[in-house]
Structure 1
Amino acid sequence: MSYTPEKTKVAFIGLGIMGAPMARNLLRAGYDVTAFNPTRAKVDAFVKDGGKGAASVAEAVRETDVVITMVPASPQVEQVVLHDGGVLENVRSGALLIDMSSITPQTSVEVAKAAAERGVEVLDAPVSGGEAGAVEGALSIMVGGEQETFDAAKPVFEALGKTIVLCGPHGSGQTVKAANQLIVAVNIQAVAEAVVFLEKSGVDLAAALDVLGGGLAGSTVLARKRQNILAGDFRPGFKVDLHHKDMGIVTDAARDVGAAVPAGALLAQLVGALRQQGDGGLDHSALVRGVRRLSGEKTED
């Protein structure tokens, strides 16, 4: 079995910064996509682009083969999937649920167990790449679940990303995503500290970032976030609020397995502080604003 565009109906739940372009990429790949989002205007915009809209989760999933959920955190996944009116109550037996949200590994395991009782297959498949990766269809997708299910879902994933890897059983995708968020946060903080150091030293910042990007200090984070920082443009590609949630997942999961993450613990505090300073709705590259404040500078609201 393979979930190819010509024979697969998809329900997409969650048209946020990441979900909206992902759903549109499925349309471009030829999938029949019905979307639901609590904000009706986002559904209407999706319909204008050629998709179908639903007024509820139940309506969206009833006639579909594959359900994709892309919501902010574990509580929203539980609400959308497990509670009354949710996916498992309304989707047909034999369907596939792909949760692409970033949530706790424990929640993914619980969802998989509940789904199995109703004859629904599940993959946890969080993503990395931010808004740009979602728009470009170039996401990195880390998947947890069974090999056979993963193989069947590969055409769906190929419409959304470039790096698609089965990482292990249910919950493994979320564990790898937690590790991803740890690495990304540490990278952004390092870039932020380097930027403030360079600015205060009177160096041409754009030139410095060019040469750093071409050497061992170069990274996807530096390449993706360089222009945001130079322009002072912190419109969210991935919100500080969401990275704050993810750092909580990292530190909790690491404690559960006995892994030391001292840099992760520090970044959890720095991201949390940035959020408390009112920057939770900004892109996570706004960590540079936190470093500037620590360095005695005032930042514009």
Structure 2
Amino acid sequence: MTPEKTRIGWIGTGVMGNSMCGHLIKAGYQATIYNRTSEKTRTLQELGATVVSSPKEVAQQSEVVFTIVGFPRDVRSVILGEDGVLAGSHEGMVVVDMTTSEPSLAVEIAKAAGAIGVQSIDAPVSGGDTGAKNAALSIMIGGDASAVESIRPLFELMGKTIVRQGGPGAGQHTKMVNQTLIASGMIAVCEGLLYAHKVGLDIPTVLESVASGAAGSWSLSNLAPRMINGDFDPGFFVEHFLKDMKIALDEASRMNLALPGLALGYQLYNAVAGQGHHRDGTQALILALSQLNGIDWQSQYS
């Protein structure tokens, strides 16, 4: 994979995809892109990307096509749909879905792609908008080992931790582990901040003490400061996190696996969405928990 030999396609230029595709273009790759809302392609177009009107057209002009969209239904549409990637594919092409989606859908796509000589890889990511901007994402990969290795140079332009977990669907299952860990961890972060607030501690000073110890976590270091600054802009949307937790809970149910912490996180984030914060970042959980405790967080931290 080199800029001189490899044309890339990119579908989904939102909070994450815009930065991720931008790294590839800045490395010299020619990119053909599509987004349902065309206005969101403007930044990449200014970097030299060619904008087309369908995922099918993206595939027709690319050797490797990346997708990062919102929901499994969107993945199904842009890859398997009548105007989707596979409809415009050619033998030897590689399709990489970086959306957090259903493991079973990743397997279905791999089978459909394989039947026409196309390699399919599921490669969801973790790291949020900051990780995407800094090319520091963790990329969790499922798919054929040789196909994964062939596009590793592209992954390395977007992430720092790049690990193949197994065959089709394994990347998505690993992302479910990631989201299960985050769900309970976010509850703990918010409860810790509320405790500090209630007792009258200076929260930034508290974070300085606890973030470098055993309680430290990515969420504590990256999202807690946003909470105390009243910054609820999305690095990752609440509605997308709800989608992820529902997938994980459905998979757990299928395996007869009880995950009460994840179930609690799902219910609390439903409350966040119910308060109108479904398009805010996941750090908006502090608003739901503060309201539960009669605390007007937004009036005190902004």
Q: Give the alignment's TM-score, normalised by structure 1.
A: 0.97
Structure 1 letter corresponding to 2:65: V
SS at match of 1:164: strand
5+ residue gaps, structure 2: none
Matched, 1:143 2:141: yes
- Once residues 270 and 178 of structure 1 are traced to their aligned partners in structure 2, the CA distance between those partners, rounded to angstroms, is 18
| Displacement of 1:260 | 1.9
1:99-144 Cα distance to aligned partner (Å, 9 max, x none)? 0000010111111111111111010000000000001100000000
**What residue is the counterpart of 1:86 in the other structure?**
84
| Contact 2:230-2:298 at 8 Å conserved across structures | no
- Once residues 56 and 249 of structure 2 are traced to their aligned partners in structure 1, the CA distance between those partners, rounded to angstroms, is 35
- Once residues 4 and 174 of structure 1 are traced to their aligned partners in structure 2, the CA distance between those partners, rounded to angstroms, is 27
**What residue is the counterpart of 1:9 in the other structure?**
7
**What residue is the counterpart of 2:100 in the other structure?**
102
| Contact 2:66-2:98 at 8 Å conserved across structures | yes
**What residue is the counterpart of 2:266 in the other structure?**
268
Percent of pairs identical after alignment? Answer: 38
Matched, 1:44 2:42: yes
**What residue is the counterpart of 1:222 in the other structure?**
220
SS at match of 2:82: coil
1:1-301 alignment, distance < 5 Å:
3-298=1-296, 300=298
| Contact 2:136-2:158 at 8 Å conserved across structures | yes
| Displacement of 1:254 | 1.1
- Once residues 266 and 221 of structure 2 are traced to their aligned partners in structure 1, the CA distance between those partners, rounded to angstroms, is 23
- Once residues 129 and 300 of structure 1 are traced to their aligned partners in structure 2, the CA distance between those partners, rounded to angstroms, is 25
5+ residue gaps, structure 1: none
Structure 2 letter corresponding to 1:275: A
- Once residues 25 and 155 of structure 1 are traced to their aligned partners in structure 2, the CA distance between those partners, rounded to angstroms, is 12
| Contact 1:5-1:31 at 8 Å conserved across structures | yes
Number of paired residues?
Answer: 299
| Contact 1:63-1:92 at 8 Å conserved across structures | no
- Once residues 44 and 273 of structure 1 are traced to their aligned partners in structure 2, the CA distance between those partners, rounded to angstroms, is 35
| Displacement of 1:272 | 1.2
- Once residues 57 and 215 of structure 1 are traced to their aligned partners in structure 2, the CA distance between those partners, rounded to angstroms, is 46
Q: Give the alignment's TM-score, normalised by structure 2.
A: 0.96
1:18-42 Cα distance to aligned partner (Å, 9 max, x none)? 0110110111122111111011112
Structure 1 letter corresponding to 2:93: A
SS at match of 1:7: coil
SS at match of 2:31: strand
Structure 2 letter corresponding to 1:104: E
Q: 1:213 to 1:299 in 2, by over 3 A?
A: closer
- Once residues 193 and 290 of structure 1 are traced to their aligned partners in structure 2, the CA distance between those partners, rounded to angstroms, is 11
| Contact 1:102-1:177 at 8 Å conserved across structures | yes
SS at match of 1:162: strand
| Displacement of 1:299 | 5.2
| Contact 1:236-1:284 at 8 Å conserved across structures | yes
- Once residues 230 and 171 of structure 1 are traced to their aligned partners in structure 2, the CA distance between those partners, rounded to angstroms, is 37
Structure 1 letter corresponding to 2:234: P
Structure 1 letter corresponding to 2:66: I
